[in-house]
Amino acid sequence: MVNSSSPELRRRVVVLGTGGTIAGRAASSDDNIGYTAAQVGVADLLGGIEAPAGVTLEAEQVAQVDSKDMSFDIWQQLARRCAHWLAQADVAGVVITHGTDTIEETAFFLHSVLAPSKPVVLTCAMRPATALSPDGPQNVRDAIGVAMTQGAQGVTVVCAGAVHGGVDIQKVHTYRLDAFASGDAGPIGYVEEGEVRLVRAWPQGQAVSAAKVLAATAVQWPRVEIVMSHAGASGAVIDALLLPGGAEPLRGLVLATTGNGTLHHALEAAALRAQDAGVSVVRATRCTSGRILPKAGDPLRDAGALTPVKARIALMLELLG
């Protein structure tokens, strides 16, 4: 008797749509930047994509937004839907169509809360669906191929033939089709004519605050802000964030530092005042490669290799408990 969870029976891939450029429309096919994102439903995006032999594709629209406007509530809903589908024995994996602007943040969030033993593959496009030569269909087809790969697991992002890990991926170019990189780590692998060639291991998540994020109730997300260090910086922004009234109290602060975690002295002084006031403060380098190497006696902890936006997510989940 064949076990119902065996790879041979996992022949369904669920594609969750969230909007983005991949679902965008422009008035002209030669316009690759003057489009409106999140106009085409995920079911329509799959209309011209041929699934691998014996594979069934199932579409579900979770959200329809320009990813620059991605929200915590959509993240929670997306995590819940991923968990639901991944629990189905015949589902090999989940593909998520997403905008490029915040795809690295969504990928890191899902990596942090899900720790899936099956693949969750985010994909995107740098050109809208109406482009003369859209890149979305091939990216989706590649993502489906990754989702069907035996042994695949964890959260990845597929774009322009490369498979990036959810921890390492960064958007590094404003308009090129190959707009992503994985810093020092490099891609996990490449999709070559539908087959995945791995160059390092599949990612493994951590399931941080998973119970709260996947709960049926709404999450009260802790307020965490990012402040950048630069020449001539002052502590005025941090001091303003600490003022009472207005938005919910500041719980956490990520400092986008120069170099190896260095800060303008005025900004550092303000950050230490915030830390003394009970705010959790973390340093994350604004460099696109490398990690912060801590020194003995550092008064502010660091986020290692995490970028500022990912360090913010990690701190939010930490504060969420």
Q: Which residues are catalytic?
A: 21
Q: Could you give the 3-state DSSP secondary structure of residue 192? A: strand
Who's near 44: CB < 8 A, 6+ residues apart? none
Residues 59 and 82 sit within 8 Å (Cβ to Cβ): no
Cα–Cα distance, 321 to 208 (Å, whole number): 8
Round to whole Å and give the CA distance between 195 and 280: 44
- The DSSP secondary-structure symbol of 258 reads B
Kindly give the interhelix angle for 308-320 and 103-114, rounded to the nearest 10 degrees: 30
Show contacts of 274-280: CB within 8 Å, 24+ apart.
274/238, 274/241, 274/242, 274/250, 275/299, 275/300, 277/242, 279/242, 279/250, 279/251, 279/252, 279/253, 280/224, 280/251, 280/252, 280/253, 280/315, 280/318, 280/319
Asked whether the CA dihedral 237, 67, 185, 211 is positive or negative, the reply is: positive
- Contact in structure between 129 and 84 (CB atoms under 8 Å): no
